[in-house]
Amino acid sequence: MASCSGWTLSLAIIVCALPWHFTQAQDEHTFVFKHDMLKGESGYFTVDGHTGVSPELEMELNVEYTFMQLDATNWYHPLGFAYYPDGALNDVDELEADIGNGDAPVYYVDNVTSDLDTYEPAFKLDRGTWKQKQYMVKLTVTDPNVTEIFYFCHIHSLMSGRIKIKSSAGDGTSAIALYQPYMPSTFDETCGTFEAGEYDPDGNYDKYCEGSQFLCGEDSQFVQCMRAIDCKMMHEMKVTNDVDPVITFMHQMIPHHVNAVNMAKILYKEKKAAKHLVDNPDSESEDSEVYGMLMDIMNTQNEQITYMRKYLKDHKASVVPCVAEGKDDKDGKDGEDGKSAGIRSSLTPTTLLVAIFAPMMLGRAVM
């Protein structure tokens, strides 16, 4: 837990909002945020006029900046600001009125001053309802001791980007580590998936799923992508039972959800390429409804993944890979009946002992 309590911050109180023209016209003090779902696990923010995902931004001290979230891709990704990456999702201090000297973002829903307790839940409304309103955040950093802050998503972890604070004292130095955006393998780039390349049917598939076929029929790029993520899920669901069923549930549900998200991404990319997706939550066309369903799966299941990973981290409950009496899954039977052999094998006396003692021996370090 990091603390900023000793910092001398002061709150820039934005009493008088400038007229909001509901446009995305960009000036040097306005950042227009969008979201790219196919980059990274939960997708990443992009900012108009800036290159790449999670771009580094610059703000001048004592100048008010506007962060626009009008674009429809922002659904389920309410912006937050913190002194370290990921804010409360990583138990670190955010820019809040009662922290430091109180520099804090001001949230707006339509043209009305709001607060985070209104802003964040609004992003969880169904897409059609959410899209009926306009969202933006204003922020002024006034503390000369602050050289950098981070924007992040209040719902999904690992979406942070750095903001350097320029002042007369300097241009902002980067002292705080920030993870790099995910770099997909060629396979993942093609499929639109996250970390499925290791399970490429033309690559290491047999190492994990030899003899198992999860999708039969003629080969195609789509089929190859689906086979890879199914193999990834079945492999990663082979965990050792924990004494706490909640832990076991999460250890298995995370790869299960990751698979759902990857399935949605594959179809999203496939349908998008064929121009068969329409972003219109008010339409009852199949293309619109399928689009809405995919967005819903990707955003809500990633939210639950973020929650479960934090729960496991807080409980120091790492996955103990399933070791069935030294026998790897080479018989091709796992998963074919919808049940993981990992579960069955976890009931042997040996693996029960592993389940009980391994976490202690490993210090229950989280992977």
**Interface ranges with Cu ion (CB under 5 A):** 77, 153, 155-156
Q: How many CA atoms lie within 13 A of 253 on its CB side?
A: 17
> Which residue lies nearer to Cu ion by CB, 302 or 346?
302
> Which residue lies nearer to Cu ion by CB, 77 or 162?
77
Shortest distance, position 120 Cβ to Cu ion, whole Å: 10
Record the tokens describing residue 293, joined without a space.
């369903």
Shortest distance, position 175 Cβ to Cu ion, whole Å: 26
> Which residue lies nearer to Cu ion by CB, 46 or 224?
46
State the first-to-last Cα distance of the chain, in angstroms, to the nearest integer.
19
Residue closest to Cu ion (Cβ): 153
> Which residue lies nearer to Cu ion by CB, 302 or 345?
302
> Which residue lies nearer to Cu ion by CB, 154 or 235?
154
Beta strands in 118-160 (DSSP E): 135-140, 148-153
Shortest distance, position 61 Cβ to Cu ion, whole Å: 28
Shortest distance, position 295 Cβ to Cu ion, whole Å: 12
DSSP 3-state of 59: strand
| Residue with token string 């068969």 | 276
Q: What does R_g of the chain's alpha carbons equal in angstroms? A: 23
> Which residue lies nearer to Cu ion by CB, 4 or 57?
57
> Which residue lies nearer to Cu ion by CB, 136 or 247?
136
Shortest distance, position 250 Cβ to Cu ion, whole Å: 20
Shortest distance, position 272 Cβ to Cu ion, whole Å: 19
CB atoms within 10 A of CB 252: 20
> Which residue lies nearer to Cu ion by CB, 144 or 181?
181
How far apart CA 207 and CA 187 sit, in angstroms, is: 17
Record the tokens describing residue 318, joined without a space.
């790492």
Record the tokens describing residue 239, joined without a space.
């965990």
Where is 250: in which H helix or E strand? Answer: helix 245-273
Kindly list the distances between the CA atom of residue 153 and the CA atoms of 87, 127, 137, 156, 302, in Å, as whole numbers in the listed order.
9, 17, 13, 6, 12
Shortest distance, position 187 Cβ to Cu ion, whole Å: 25
**Residues contacting 314, CB < 8 A, separation 6+:** none
Q: Which one, of 156, 145, 181, 149, lies nearest residue 88 by Cα?
A: 156
Shortest distance, position 274 Cβ to Cu ion, whole Å: 26
Q: In what order do the strands lie in the sheet with 79-82?
A: 57-60, 161-166, 148-153, 79-82
